Structure 1
Amino acid sequence: MTDIGLQYLCDLVNQQQSDTLLVADEHLDSTTLLSLKAHEQLTLLSNRYDVYIAATENNITCIFNDMDLSELNRKFDLILYRVSKEKAIVHHIINQAPAALKDHGQFILCGFKNEGIKTYISKAELYFGEKADISKGERQLKIARFNPHALGEALDDRDYKQLSQIEAPGKIEIFSKPGQFGWNKTDQGSLLLVDALKEFIHEQTEPPGNVLDLGCGYGLLSIMAWNLGAAKIIATDNNAAAIYSCRKNFQHHHIIGEVIADDCAASIHHQYDMVLCNPPFHRGFDTEKDLTEKFVRSASHHLKNSGTAFVVVNQFIPIEQIAALHFKCIEVEKQNKSFKVVRLSS
């Protein structure tokens, strides 16, 4: 489904001939992206690798990083941003906008009422030292235009750029940061998968060889698989903050393997003895069950014939039906009121 807020900004971009930066995350789907008219003065910044690949393929200058405007090494006449799902990212972008604008440059922020846009606008007004020019779009969309000049106190972005240690099972040291799903906690679904993985490995004659952590986040499943004896781990994610955090954890735990930015392992062509996956089921503020099918399909492509995949999903996801299209053996290994772990094999 096309995001109305982002489509509004894309329409504005297509009317511009000045140096323009569009900041986008998971809201930017392929249909909206294709509506953009590539020109030399347009730059797209995204923390999503799939957006970066799609933009590049359509001749749109795109930078893939963890929402760091300073890495662009230039200033813009116009910066457009449709608010993200995570508050820390929104505050981080607002805080950076003035330094990335030319003199008399304009920052445009948009979002919906149920996403907290009214509060974001109020906070930005205090920080930018001016009242916003506010207009309305469809379905309670609000668009705020700013010309920042007298900066006040920066918004709390939870020290966005900094890695911090989070609580983990068994007092294992794990580092994470804002900008990725569940960044400041250990996901209960992943922990349930780890329990199933422990039992499975203890029943085997030897631990798994090569493991693929599909949608790795900050690398919890990779770390636990390594501690259970995995020989080598390849971790991949679509999100720049996840890649940054996971690489730190690989270094800290001396994990043999690699952390790769990719869209659901699309450019990874090897097969593995084991695939571990806690797939997302949200795109921005919307729920998309197709994401689960995408990850299950990728797991089947990347698993050796003799291999085993473990996937954890929320109880309401019909994983058994989805997996039946790609695997012969489907067993629910563990479940509770919220999650279920399935073991998949050919």
Structure 2
Amino acid sequence: MINDASTQWLVQNIIQHASTQSLWLSDENVLKHLPDAKVWQHKPLFVTNRWDLAQHAKQFGFNAEFNDFDLTAISDNSVDHVFYRVSKEKAVVHHLINEAQRILKSDGILWICGQKNEGIKTYVEKASALFNCAKDIQKDGTNYSSQLVKGNSSDNILDDENYRELRPCINLADTILVSKPGQFGWNKIDLGSEFLIAEVRKLLSGQSKNFQQCLDLGCGYGYLTIASRDFSVKNRTLTDNNAAALITAKVNCVQLKIEAEIIPTDAGKELQGKFDLILCNPPFHQGFSVDGDLTEKFLRNAHRLLTENGVAYFVVNQFIPLEKKAPEFFDHVNLISRNKSFCVFELRKN
């Protein structure tokens, strides 16, 4: 069942209008339950920047590609339809509208939708100027949508903050890290992650603890790994489900000569190894919505991946009830520190 009205509108139009030359652009806003593509006349190419969505789509018969919305392999003026429910980040939306204008044939259609508080009306206005067409915004309940027909070429390219480019933008001690749009908190140091590292460093400072395997679970651009590079760790693994995060984490590790495996997974689900140290600042948003199930997913996988005598350190916002969720998976749940915004927990199996 699809709960999001905008996604429901999009899926209905994909089923009715998709041709063999169609593209579905999808990210975390889309859906938890994909319709079975086998019942559709034509299956659009499914492109997503989320590893979990790509794997899910493949199970339902889609030709799915996982990348950082890199559409450079798609020729200009070659696509009949592009279907897109707007993303949370403006740079992503602008990038994909620009790319839709490039790859659509003359008179090709961008099917775009979203909800009012997501900026959809402004996006449609900008896209219609780029497409040289009428904006024709339609409202159905909470969903706003438009079918934009590509007209003559236009110079009204939307500002996508140079979406494809990595850029040095984060100061960490004496190090400049690179990052890019397309991932949460891409151009700043997350205060929760900073708090986690500071508190774990205090705990470990009086110990001669050596770790064999450290997992950065939900790594983003790699902050937890980079900020903990002075910890005594033999091997490091970083994982995320976001393509931009994996790209930037790899570049930052190479730049700092940190040897690490960087692996796409759904909150660690596909990992098979065991780790005696896990560092995690789990996300609590799925697209525009708060998703409590995300915290449980990270806890469940952390429990599976942790060695019997290992330790996991989690940081969460104050309103996330981790002290109630974690005991389902861990015998020892210890709140080691809190401030006005965050709580840091130490989790052990025994």
Q: Same fold (TM over 0.5)?
A: yes
- 220-229 or 256-265, larger mean C-alpha shift: 220-229
- In structure 1, the gaps of 5 or more residues are none
Letter of the aligned partner of 2:263 in structure 1?
I
Rounded Cα–Cα distance in structure 2 between residues aligned with 1:111 and 1:40 = 23
> Residues 43-122 of structure 1: matches in 2 within 5 Å?
43-72=45-74, 75-122=78-125
Does structure 1 retain, via aligned residues, the 8 Å contact 2:50–2:242? yes
Residue 255 of structure 1 deviates from its aligned partner by: 1.2
Change (3 A) 1:314 1:34: farther
Number of aligned residues: 346
The residue aligned with 1:182 is: 185
Residue 183 of structure 1 deviates from its aligned partner by: 0.5
The residue aligned with 1:241 is: 244
The residue aligned with 1:11 is: 12
Percent of residue pairs identical: 38
Residue 38 of structure 1 deviates from its aligned partner by: 5.2
Residue 177 of structure 1 deviates from its aligned partner by: 0.6
Does structure 1 retain, via aligned residues, the 8 Å contact 2:47–2:64? yes
Does structure 2 retain, via aligned residues, the 8 Å contact 1:39–1:60? no
The residue aligned with 1:21 is: 23
- 192-201 or 279-288, larger mean C-alpha shift: 192-201
> Residues 25-44 of structure 1: matches in 2 within 5 Å?
25-34=27-36, 37=39, 41-44=43-46
**SS of the residue aligned with 2:330?**
coil
Letter of the aligned partner of 2:71 in structure 1?
L
Letter of the aligned partner of 2:339 in structure 1?
N
**SS of the residue aligned with 1:173?**
strand
Change (3 A) 1:17 1:115: closer
Letter of the aligned partner of 1:11 in structure 2?
Q
Does structure 1 retain, via aligned residues, the 8 Å contact 2:107–2:149? no
Letter of the aligned partner of 1:323 in structure 2?
A
Equivalent of residue 219 in structure 1, options 214, 222, 226:
222
- 224-233 or 205-214, larger mean C-alpha shift: 224-233
Does structure 1 retain, via aligned residues, the 8 Å contact 2:24–2:83? yes
Residue 228 of structure 1 deviates from its aligned partner by: 2.5
Equivalent of residue 253 in structure 1, options 252, 256, 260:
256
The residue aligned with 1:153 is: 156
Change (3 A) 1:213 1:37: farther
Letter of the aligned partner of 1:184 in structure 2?
N
The residue aligned with 2:207 is: 204
Matched, 1:272 2:271: no
Once the two structures are superposed, what CA deviation does each residue of 1:153-207 show, in whole Å capped at 9, x if it has no partner? 3111111111112233313221111000000100000000010121122122133
Letter of the aligned partner of 2:58 in structure 1?
T
Residue 137 of structure 1 deviates from its aligned partner by: 1.9
Rounded Cα–Cα distance in structure 2 between residues aligned with 1:104 and 1:142 = 18
Letter of the aligned partner of 1:254 in structure 2?
K
Does structure 1 retain, via aligned residues, the 8 Å contact 2:133–2:148? no
> Residues 114-133 of structure 1: matches in 2 within 5 Å?
114-133=117-136
Residue 252 of structure 1 deviates from its aligned partner by: 0.7
**SS of the residue aligned with 2:145?**
strand
Does structure 1 retain, via aligned residues, the 8 Å contact 2:79–2:104? yes
Matched, 1:283 2:286: yes
Residue 34 of structure 1 deviates from its aligned partner by: 3.9
Residue 222 of structure 1 deviates from its aligned partner by: 1.0
**SS of the residue aligned with 2:224?**
helix
Change (3 A) 1:40 1:118: closer
Residue 7 of structure 1 deviates from its aligned partner by: 1.5
- In structure 2, the gaps of 5 or more residues are none
**SS of the residue aligned with 1:324?**
helix
Change (3 A) 1:145 1:157: same
Change (3 A) 1:103 1:144: closer
The residue aligned with 2:304 is: 301
